[in-house]
């Protein structure tokens, strides 16, 4: 920990109102303004990226998001070897034979599209389904990974049909492998809505409440509910998930999208035998939308679940340590990354950690808790923005106009008051 206290050197005026210790959004408002002063020690200590979420210890907050980077033993092992804080495996269900993928199943948006093949990739659409590998195989690999990496956090992502017995069987079987937690995929936007799976549950609060009830009555490890952004108010299903016993929420899954139309063939992308279907959008372009959704969930958690050990795992368009810092500043406990790993490989975690540490050094934050949720307080209503701006304008005008009357001169502010009435 960097040592901080009022008797030490003030490091930077611009961050003078940041919390002194443990400024989690959960208890931020209870601290006095005097306490909320950050001053730095002269010798900086290496920032500590480790986090503990729902009792699970991770060396850093970076978690592989469910998807191709968590499809099998080899890639998950690689993620642990490269230093990811945790891994969420590709979503599994009881009967993989019902999962039939097509190819191509990805399409990318580049800067300068449509027509540019060279621009930077900013958006990614997939029409990929959940894992098409047999459940038995995936379970064997989870067990092998936990045997080889007992101290690392492996989270199973699961999805089932609207069937209590099926959910109970799936939970039982994944838990037997020794996984540390379960993420429920209530959010896959494409594929299998006819089976009442994924977003079909996450978009329907009544259904969600019932299914979460079954899940939480059965599960013995922490459960995170993964939310879909394809809904008007994401805080509503998040609230239902927490009220029905989930220990955390994850957001966001992909955004329903049509990547584009090929202007030569006039066919939509990704094009399978001349046809396409709407898919899920991810990568850099979704980051601002994900920030908005995470902010909305975090505000709900702060106002309705303050002090409880519920956690928030943020996802969407993370490619840099700065992207992750933004999520944490909004209240996230962990940050998941999926598409960026598909683009840059597992070594990305080293860059993410190093950039997050740079950010922390800049502000003299020694732990993740030091800045978790700090920016949430700066959101308000539009009406309040108008009030604040009108007040600021009034004050600026008052300064420009100087004293309204000779009775306003003071002894302490005499020189400033004189200055305020000088024109050059």
Ligand X SMILES: Cc1cc2nc3c(=O)[nH]c(=O)nc-3n(C[C@H](O)[C@H](O)[C@H](O)COP(=O)(O)O)c2cc1C
What positions carry a catalytic annotation? 188
Nearer to ligand X by Cβ, of 104 and 402: the residue is 104
By CB under 6 A, tell whether 65 contacts ligand X.
Answer: yes
Per CB under 6 A, the list member of 60, 66, 228, 257 interacting with ligand X is 66
Nearer to ligand X by Cβ, of 40 and 335: the residue is 335
By CB under 6 A, tell whether 334 contacts ligand X.
Answer: no
Instruction: Say which residues have a Cβ less than 8 Å from residue 107's Cβ, sequence separation at least 6.
Output: 124, 125, 259, 260, 269, 270, 279
Q: How many CA atoms, within 13 angstroms, populate the side-chain half-sphere of residue 146?
A: 20
By CB under 6 A, tell whether 316 contacts ligand X.
Answer: yes
By CB under 6 A, tell whether 282 contacts ligand X.
Answer: yes
By CB under 6 A, tell whether 296 contacts ligand X.
Answer: no
Output the smallest distance, CB 354 to ligand X, in A.
Answer: 19
Output the smallest distance, CB 128 to ligand X, in A.
Answer: 4
Output the smallest distance, CB 381 to ligand X, in A.
Answer: 29
Per CB under 6 A, the list member of 60, 177, 185, 228 interacting with ligand X is 185
Nearer to ligand X by Cβ, of 107 and 301: the residue is 107
Residues 67-106: x where in contact with ligand X by CB under 6 A, - otherwise, as a string: xx---------------------xx---------------
What strand order describes the sheet that includes 255-257? 106-110, 121-126, 279-282, 255-257
d(CA 215, CA 328): 28
By CB under 6 A, tell whether 298 contacts ligand X.
Answer: no
Per CB under 6 A, the list member of 124, 214, 346, 371 interacting with ligand X is 124
The span of 66-74, 142-150, 303-311, 393-401 binding ligand X (CB under 6 A) equals 66-74
By CB under 6 A, tell whether 293 contacts ligand X.
Answer: no
How many other C-beta atoms lie within 10 A of the C-beta of residue 171? 24
Instruction: Say which residues have a Cβ less than 8 Å from residue 151's Cβ, sequence separation at least 6.
Output: 57
By CB under 6 A, tell whether 237 contacts ligand X.
Answer: no
Scan residues 342-401 and list those touching ligand X (CB under 6 A). Answer: none
d(CA 402, CA 204): 59
Output the smallest distance, CB 124 to ligand X, in A.
Answer: 6
Q: At what angle do helices 205-218 and 235-243 cross, to 10 degrees?
A: 30
d(CA 417, CA 6): 31
Q: What is the DSSP string of 319-376?
A: -SHHHHHHHHHTT-SEEEESHHHHHH-TTHHHHHHHHHHHHHHHHT--BGGGTTTGGG
Count, in order, helices (H) and strands (E) of the chain.
12, 16
Nearer to ligand X by Cβ, of 286 and 328: the residue is 286
By CB under 6 A, tell whether 320 contacts ligand X.
Answer: no
Per CB under 6 A, the list member of 60, 283, 372, 375 interacting with ligand X is 283
How far apart are the two ends of the chain, measured CA to CA in Å?
Answer: 48
By CB under 6 A, tell whether 227 contacts ligand X.
Answer: no
Q: Give strand pairing partners of 106.
A: 126
By CB under 6 A, tell whether 128 contacts ligand X.
Answer: yes
Radius of gyration of the chain (CA): 25
By CB under 6 A, tell whether 339 contacts ligand X.
Answer: yes
Output the smallest distance, CB 286 to ligand X, in A.
Answer: 6
The burial class, CB within 10 Å (0-12 / 13-18 / 19+), for 328 is buried
Closest by CA position to 319, among listed 283, 273, 362: 283
Q: Which residues bind ligand X (CB under 6 A)?
A: 65-68, 90-91, 124, 126, 128, 130, 157, 185, 188, 226, 253-254, 282-283, 286, 315-318, 337-340
């Amino acid at each position: 920990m960097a040592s901080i206290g009022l008797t030490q050197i003030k490091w930077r005026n611009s961050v003078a109102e940041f919390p002194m210790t443990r400024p989690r959004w959960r208890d931020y408002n209870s601290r006095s303004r005097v306490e909320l002063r950050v001053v730095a020690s002269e010798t900086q200590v290496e920032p500590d990226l480790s986090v503990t979420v729902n009792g699970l210890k991770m060396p850093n907050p970076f978690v592989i998001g469910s998807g191709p980077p968590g499809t099998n033993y080899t890639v998950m092992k690689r993620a642990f070897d490269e230093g990811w804080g945790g891994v969420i495996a590709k979503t599994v269900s009881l009967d993989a034979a019902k999962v039939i993928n097509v190819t191509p199943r990805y399409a990318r948006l580049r800067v300068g599209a449509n027509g540019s093949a060279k621009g930077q990739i900013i958006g990614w659409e997939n029409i990929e389904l959940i894992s098409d590998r047999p459940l038995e195989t995936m379970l064997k690999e989870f067990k092998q990974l936990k045997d080889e990496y007992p101290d690392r956090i492996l989270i199973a992502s699961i999805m089932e049909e609207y069937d209590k017995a099926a959910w109970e069987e799936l939970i039982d079987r994944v838990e037997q492998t020794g996984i540390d937690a379960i993420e429920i995929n209530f959010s896959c936007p494409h594929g299998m809505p006819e089976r009442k799976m994924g977003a079909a549950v996450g978009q329907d609060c009544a259904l969600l409440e019932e299914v979460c009830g079954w899940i939480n009555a059965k599960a013995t490890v922490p459960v995170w509910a993964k939310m879909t952004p394809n809904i008007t108010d994401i805080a509503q299903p998040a609230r239902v998930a927490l009220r029905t016993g989930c220990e955390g929420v994850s957001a966001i899954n992909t955004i329903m999208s049509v990547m584009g139309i090929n202007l030569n063939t006039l066919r939509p992308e990704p094009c399978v035998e001349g046809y396409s279907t709407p898919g899920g959008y991810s990568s850099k372009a979704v980051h601002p939308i994900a920030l908005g959704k995470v902010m909305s969930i975090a505000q709900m958690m702060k106002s309705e679940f303050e002090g409880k050990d519920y956690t928030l795992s943020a996802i969407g368009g993370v490619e840099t340590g700065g992207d992750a810092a933004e999520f944490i500043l909004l209240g996230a406990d962990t940050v998941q990354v999926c598409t960026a790993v598909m683009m840059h490989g597992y070594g990305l975690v080293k860059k993410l950690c190093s950039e997050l540490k740079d950010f922390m050094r800049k502000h003299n934050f020694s732990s993740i808790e030091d800045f978790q949720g700090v920016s949430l307080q700066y959101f308000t209503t539009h009406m309040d923005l108008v009030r604040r701006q009108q007040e600021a304008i009034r004050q600026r005008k008052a300064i420009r106009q100087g004293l309204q009357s000779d009775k306003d001169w003071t002894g302490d502010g005499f020189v400033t008051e004189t200055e305020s009435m000088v024109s050059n």
